[in-house]
Structure 1
Amino acid sequence: MLQDRQGNPLTGANAEAVAAFDAGVRAFNIYRGDPLAHADAALAAAPACVMAHLLKAHLLLMATEPAAAEEAGGILGHVRNLPMSDREAGHLAALQQVLAGDWSRGAETLDRLNMRYPHDLLALQSGHLMDFYRGNARNLRDRVTRVLPAWTADVPGYSIVLGFQAFGLEECGDYARAEAAGREALAREPLDCWAHHAVAHVMEMQGRAEDGIGWMQVRQAQWDGDDNFFKVHNWWHKALFHLDLDDAEGALALYDGAVRREASEVAMDLVDASALLWRLHAAGVDVGGRCLEVAEVWRAHADGKLYPFNDWHAAMAYLGADQVVEVDRLIAAYENAPSAGEVGRWQAQIGLPLLRGFRAFATGHYAEAVSDLHTGRAIANGFGGSHAQRDVIDWTLAEAAIRAGLGAEAVAFAQERVAVKPHSPISRRSLQRARSISAAPAAAA
């Protein structure tokens, strides 16, 4: 039987389909090019190639968009009727579990599959993304740790696995090893956008904003190509570095010139746009009507059912556009949703406090926002995304305490941020504002 580049058999494939499948997996690995087009080419060459169907289903489900998930469901229904190997059946089972809203079961299914087939790079990458989408920092690291001894530099894709390792180490706070792994991955494959962004995360978490801007600039040619699926997220990271330096003007210029330059309708890009505008708004920057444009595009994705992390970011855009009724729609959908299943738990336990807290902040009920977000942030690590993405919760909480005039709380939350990033001008300014509020009652007394 024919095999992929890592030596995994491909049921129903011919030589042309194998070449197209390998090209699709590589495009997925480095987030460059069109992996869906390669999957379609493989299927045109060999309609019974099971892994080509499954590659396409992986790509569609990892988009976290309702229309894409529906298309993936159709593919999985077709694949069930094809002959397949035990390994391929494992892929099918994992994808069916994710489609049913059970991200953790799907992630665990791929985890166990990789224990038996450590060179299945598609399973490893998709499982890594599932860990990311469910906010499981430990498994972002340990999934790769379990298989890495089976990889050597002569196995195609070794550099990609190092990039996965870098991000997992970063999310677990092992910053020195994460940066080393990321830099090694890039030395072997300069176009690996995931490894580049892992190093950017290290610099973000360590408060190395100047280093971060330099890192983004010196490697821009590798991550900002026209066919680069990940470029908006990396531009978002650069904007965060500018915000950390209290350069809101620079961050807003990046939003206009890069983050929304192409007005992308991809959910991942909308997450970045919403989060950046919300941070700017919370910092007191007039973002004009930018939120309205993003809010309109979110309507096709924020269905209150598929993926609460996206709904929450849609709510940021809705609130910035004064569309509170849309946030109320999401809150009502969560309140009436079945509590069974993983997505139901995300909605009830994490999504609701966050939606209510951000709504309270946007409508001027700052003390209420403090109450909701102080609760929500403690459990948000069971939610999708990275530490850098979820930091918007603490950002909003600290600002809400200041605006509510809660002196002691405002100082406490601001001190948290300065402790993590002692050299951050915007964090130090926040602490100064909090201390002025705290000192005011004593002066009056």
Structure 2
Amino acid sequence: MLSDLQGNSVSGATTAALELYEGANRAFNIYRGDPIGLIDAAVEAAPDFAMAHILKAYLYGVATEPEATEEARAIVERAKELSLNERERSHIGVLDRLLTGNWTSAALALDAHNINYPLDLVGLQCGHLADFYRACARDLRDRIARVLPRWSPAVPGYSIVLGMYAFGLEECGLYGRAEEAGRQATALEPLDCWAHHAVAHVMEMQGRAEDGVGWMRSREPSWSGEDNFFRVHNWWHLALYHLDLGDVDEALRLYDGPVREDRSQVALDMVDASALLWRLSLLGRDLSDRWQELASAWDQHADGKLYPFNDWHAVMAYLGSGRDQDVERILAALRSASGAVPEVADWARQTGLPLVEGFVAFWRGDYATAAERLHRGRFIVNRFGGSHAQRDIIDWTLTEAAVRAGLTQLAEALVNERRALKPHSQVNRGFLARLASGASH
């Protein structure tokens, strides 16, 4: 039986198909190129190649898009008919959980899988992404820490694992170690977008905006190519640095340019677009035409059922474009979610709903209600949705709501929080100046 580059046995493969599979896996590792095209070629070359089907199901499953999830389910059903080894059967069990919306159950199954198969790079990366989507900072770090001693520079993919560890360290607030690991990973593999973005997160969280701009610009050729799946997110990071530096015009230029110029229909790209436009709107920019375009793009993804983090960002666009009927559609779906299985129903009720209600109240000028909802919904580190940097939009909007509502004591407390973390941020200094002058807008 053939084995992958890390020595894991693979069922049903041929030498030619395995080479295509490894190309697809590398494309996935560095978020660059066309992993689906390569994996389809691998399946065509060896229809019974189990890991090719499994990797494709994961690629669709982690997209957090309704149509992709349906396709992933169909792929898994076909894969179940193949001859599978124990590791491959373990992956199928994970996918069954993941594709029914039970992210934590899938992540826990991958905990066991990764312990049993520590050199399974697909399992590690998909587990890391599951931790990201459910916002589990500890497992972002410790999933990799548990297996890292089994890896070394002699094992293909070591730099990828090191880059994942860098991001987990960053989300746990271990910024010095995170930056060191991220820089080491990018030195070993300059095209590793995840490691690059781990260092970008460190600089964002530490308020090192000028360093962040330098980091992004000096390495731009490595992450900004048209075939780079992660390029929009990295442009988003650059825009955040410019907002902290007070250069709102440059952040808007980046939105109109690389963040949104190609009108991406990828959910992850649209999350970044919504989040950047919302921040710009908080700073007083008129963005009505941009909101209209983005709202239309969200229509194919926002169902209030699959992944509430996406729905929340879709609501931002619907509010900005005046599409109240779609705002109400998402609210109704979140309110009607019932039962803790699948897990996303619990996410919808407990976290998605107060966030959406808070943003709706804010947009409609009910700042006191917005402050109440968002203060209740802000502590979601162990619930769902992205990174600390992405979730800062909650605290930013909450602080703005408190200022506009005239909730002076709450506003002052929140501004103190923000300034303790990023004392040089022009955004935070702006809050402080408004409090000092008694201005609400």
| TM-score interval, normalised by the smaller of the two chains | over 0.9
Is it true that 1:303 corresponds to 2:311 in the alignment? no
Match of 1:47 in 2: 47
CA positional deviation for 1:204: 0.2
In 2, distance between residues paired with 1:437 and 1:86? 65
Match of 1:410 in 2: 411
Contact 1:178–1:198 under 8 Å retained in 2:
yes
**Residue identity opposite 1:401 in structure 2:** A
Match of 2:335 in 1: 335
Q: 1:67-125, CA deviations, whole angstroms, 9 ceiling, x for partnerless residues? A: 00000010011111111011001111101101111001111111111101111000000
Q: 1:140-171, CA deviations, whole angstroms, 9 ceiling, x for partnerless residues? A: 00000000000011000000000000000000
SS of residue matched to 1:243? helix
In 2, distance between residues paired with 1:406 and 1:45? 65
In 2, distance between residues paired with 1:225 and 1:336? 42
CA positional deviation for 1:438: 8.6
CA positional deviation for 1:134: 0.3
Deviates more, 1:413-422 or 1:171-180: 413-422
**Residue identity opposite 1:148 in structure 2:** L
In 1, distance between residues paired with 2:435 and 2:26? 49
Q: 1:193-247, CA deviations, whole angstroms, 9 ceiling, x for partnerless residues? A: 0000000000000000000001000000000111100000000000000011121
Match of 2:377 in 1: 376
Contact 1:39–1:52 under 8 Å retained in 2:
yes
Contact 1:414–1:434 under 8 Å retained in 2:
no
Contact 2:186–2:192 under 8 Å retained in 1:
yes
CA positional deviation for 1:38: 1.0
**Residue identity opposite 1:29 in structure 2:** N
Aligned CA distance change for structure 1 residues 265 and 294 (closer, same or farther; 3 Å)? same
The gaps in structure 2 that reach 5 residues or longer are none
Match of 1:442 in 2: none
Match of 1:221 in 2: 221
In 2, distance between residues paired with 1:364 and 1:8? 57
CA positional deviation for 1:325: 2.2
Map 1:16-415 → 2, pairs under 5 A: 16-341=16-341, 342-379=343-380, 381-415=382-416
**Residue identity opposite 1:94 in structure 2:** V
In 2, distance between residues paired with 1:189 and 1:346? 36
Identity of aligned residues (%): 59
Q: 1:266-297, CA deviations, whole angstroms, 9 ceiling, x for partnerless residues? A: 00000000000001101212223101101101
SS of residue matched to 1:305? coil
Write out the 4+ residue segments of structure 1 that deviate beyond 3 Å after TM superposition: none
**Residue identity opposite 2:70 in structure 1:** E
Contact 1:408–1:438 under 8 Å retained in 2:
no
Match of 1:443 in 2: none
In 2, distance between residues paired with 1:158 and 1:96? 28
SS of residue matched to 1:302? coil
SS of residue matched to 2:270? helix
CA positional deviation for 1:380: 5.2
CA positional deviation for 1:174: 0.1
Contact 2:288–2:320 under 8 Å retained in 1:
no
SS of residue matched to 1:405? coil
**Residue identity opposite 1:421 in structure 2:** K
In 2, distance between residues paired with 1:380 and 1:316? 21
Deviates more, 1:426-435 or 1:171-180: 426-435
SS of residue matched to 2:56? helix
Give the aligned CA root-mean-square deviation in angstroms: 1.1
In 1, distance between residues paired with 2:340 and 2:189? 43
In 2, distance between residues paired with 1:338 and 1:256? 39
In 1, distance between residues paired with 2:137 and 2:320? 30
Contact 2:11–2:83 under 8 Å retained in 1:
yes
CA positional deviation for 1:136: 0.2
Contact 2:337–2:346 under 8 Å retained in 1:
no
Aligned CA distance change for structure 1 residues 384 and 418 (closer, same or farther; 3 Å)? same
CA positional deviation for 1:429: 1.1
Match of 1:423 in 2: 424
Aligned CA distance change for structure 1 residues 438 and 265 (closer, same or farther; 3 Å)? closer
**Residue identity opposite 1:3 in structure 2:** S
In 2, distance between residues paired with 1:438 and 1:262? 39
**Residue identity opposite 2:69 in structure 1:** A
In 1, distance between residues paired with 2:17 and 2:113? 23
In 1, distance between residues paired with 2:325 and 2:175? 42
The count of aligned residue pairs is 439
SS of residue matched to 1:382? coil
SS of residue matched to 1:422? coil
CA positional deviation for 1:336: 1.3
In 2, distance between residues paired with 1:433 and 1:217? 33
Is it true that 1:12 corresponds to 2:18 in the alignment? no
Contact 1:32–1:229 under 8 Å retained in 2:
yes
In 2, distance between residues paired with 1:379 and 1:224? 31
Deviates more, 1:323-332 or 1:87-96: 323-332
In 1, distance between residues paired with 2:402 and 2:13? 60
